[in-house]
């Protein structure tokens, strides 16, 4: 140990004065660490404060009506948040609708079924999918998924579900390939790895004896999963889903490529739309500093922040309870 110890390592011969000087750094170091911790809090406080200030002009001009107005008219200088908020919620909901079963399937496969040699590489591949930058999903969506949607999926849906009473408003319209459904599908692919990672970790953290006793009673794998593992891990699984929702709500680049970028509210899932994040990304360059339009975009950012922070806070609380 002493041979590899760096010079000045305690245990070597050091003067009492040097020792005292060294100890005096302790409060300084602790203070620095604590200050960095506080800096994280200040960062969140700063983001909330600055976004609220930036959107103040729009909130002040339009009042609470900003939240329920679907207008977005730069010519008349009238702005409302409803259409992008609608698009954000619908695409995120569609995303989760597909992502949750996919993520559950992946986690089920990785923890209960796949042999070790398979689970390792598959797990890594799913984690790599989470690392792919969002703009890549956007390009992939635009050049690969949109044509498939336009040529195959949307016409098929229009001819099948589009003829069913009550369902047909959702599945009508022209099959452009872009729109809310396509955006939701891209989101599903993007958030599945995040939800799957949480589910896998929770399933693995379960005490094996609980599962073993269920197997000992003759349960099948699916019964163990449904009646033992899921009830035991329910709050963390919901926390993982909320985490995915938080990701989906604020996703910008991927959505911007495939959503169609039209500010309107329509029941049709094929209709081009907008989300808060895609509207900001698209309109921001055309907004001059200090204008009401810029303030309206910042106010939208504030709304997105409130929605996603509440979602993420819920997610963290649910995840912490079991963790």
Partner 1 sequence: MPTATSVNAGLARRRAAANLAATALAYAATAVVLVALASILVTLIGYGIGGLSLHTLITDTAPAGGHGGLLNPIVGSVIQVGLATLLGTPIGLLAGIYLAEFGGRSPLASTVRFVSDMLLSAPSILVGLFVYLLLVAPFHHFSGFAGVVALAILVVPIVVRTTEDMLRLVPVAMREAAAALGAPRWRVVVQICLRAAQKGLLTGILLAVARIAGETAPLLFTSLGNLNWSLSLNREMASLPVTIYQYAGSPADDWVQLAWTAALLITAGVLFINIVARIGLRGQNRS
Instruction: Spell out the residues 6+ positions from residue 82 whose beta carbon is closer than 8 angstroms to its own.
Output: 67, 68, 69, 70, 265
**Cα separation, 293 vs 181, whole angstroms:** 28
Of the candidates 282, 275, 258, which has an alpha carbon nearest to the alpha carbon of residue 88? 275
In the list 53, 73, 77, 213, the residue contacting partner 1 (rule: CB under 8 A) is 53
Least distance (Å) between residue 48 CB and partner 1 = 9
Nearer residue to partner 1 within complex by CB, 173 or 246: 246
Question: Is 142 a residue that touches partner 1 (CB under 8 A)?
Answer: yes
Work out the number of other CB atoms within 10 angstroms of the CB of residue 121: 10
Spatial contact of 55 and 299, defined as CB atoms under 8 Å apart: yes
In the list 47, 71, 78, 265, the residue contacting partner 1 (rule: CB under 8 A) is 47
Least distance (Å) between residue 165 CB and partner 1 = 29
In the list 17, 131, 166, 208, the residue contacting partner 1 (rule: CB under 8 A) is 131
Question: Is 50 a residue that touches partner 1 (CB under 8 A)?
Answer: yes
Q: Which of residues 220-239 bind partner 1 (CB under 8 A)?
A: 220-223, 225-226
Question: Is 269 a residue that touches partner 1 (CB under 8 A)?
Answer: no
Q: Could you tell me how many residues of this chain bind partner 1 (CB under 8 A)?
A: 96
Instruction: Spell out the residues 6+ positions from residue 63 whose beta carbon is closer than 8 angstroms to its own.
Output: none
**Cα separation, 61 vs 39, whole angstroms:** 33
Q: Which of residues 65-124 bind partner 1 (CB under 8 A)?
A: 101-106, 108-110, 113-114, 122, 124
Question: Is 211 a residue that touches partner 1 (CB under 8 A)?
Answer: no
Question: Is 159 a residue that touches partner 1 (CB under 8 A)?
Answer: no
Report helix, strand or coil for 168.
coil
Question: Is 193 a residue that touches partner 1 (CB under 8 A)?
Answer: yes
Least distance (Å) between residue 82 CB and partner 1 = 19
Q: Which DSSP letter does residue 120 get?
A: H
Instruction: Spell out the residues 6+ positions from residue 91 whose beta carbon is closer than 8 angstroms to its own.
Output: 180, 183, 184, 187, 248, 255, 259, 273, 275
């Amino acid at each position: 140990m002493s041979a590899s110890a760096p010079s000045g390592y305690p245990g070597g011969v050091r003067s009492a004065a040097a020792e005292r000087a060294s100890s005096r750094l302790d409060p300084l170091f602790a203070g620095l660490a604590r200050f960095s911790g506080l800096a994280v809090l200040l960062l969140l406080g700063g983001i909330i404060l600055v976004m609220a200030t930036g959107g103040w002009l729009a909130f002040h001009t339009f009042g609470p009506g900003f939240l329920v107005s679907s207008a977005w008219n730069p010519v008349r200088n009238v702005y409302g948040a409803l259409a992008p908020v609608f698009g954000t919620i619908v695409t995120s909901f569609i995303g989760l609708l597909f992502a949750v079963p996919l993520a559950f399937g992946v986690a089920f496969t990785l923890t209960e079924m796949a042999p070790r040699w398979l689970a390792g590489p598959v797990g890594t591949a799913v984690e790599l999918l989470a690392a792919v930058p969002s703009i890549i999903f956007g390009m992939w969506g635009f050049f690969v998924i949109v044509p498939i949607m336009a040529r195959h999926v949307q016409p098929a849906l229009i001819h099948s579900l589009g003829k069913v009473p009550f369902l047909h408003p959702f599945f009508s319209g022209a099959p452009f390939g872009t729109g809310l459904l396509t955006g939701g599908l891209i989101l599903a692919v993007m958030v599945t790895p995040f939800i799957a990672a949480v589910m896998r970790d929770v399933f693995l953290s379960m005490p094996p004896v609980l599962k073993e006793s269920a197997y000992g009673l003759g349960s099948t794998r699916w019964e163990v999963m449904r009646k033992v593992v899921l009830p035991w891990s329910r709050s963390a699984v919901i926390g993982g889903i909320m985490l995915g929702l938080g990701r989906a709500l604020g996703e910008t680049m991927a959505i911007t490529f495939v959503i169609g970028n039209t500010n309107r509210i329509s029941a049709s899932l094929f209709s081009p739309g907008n989300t808060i994040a895609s509207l900001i990304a698209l309109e921001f360059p055309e907004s001059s500093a200090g204008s009401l339009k810029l303030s309206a975009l910042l106010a939208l950012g504030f709304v997105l922040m409130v929605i996603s922070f509440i979602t993420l806070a819920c997610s963290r609380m649910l995840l912490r309870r079991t963790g």
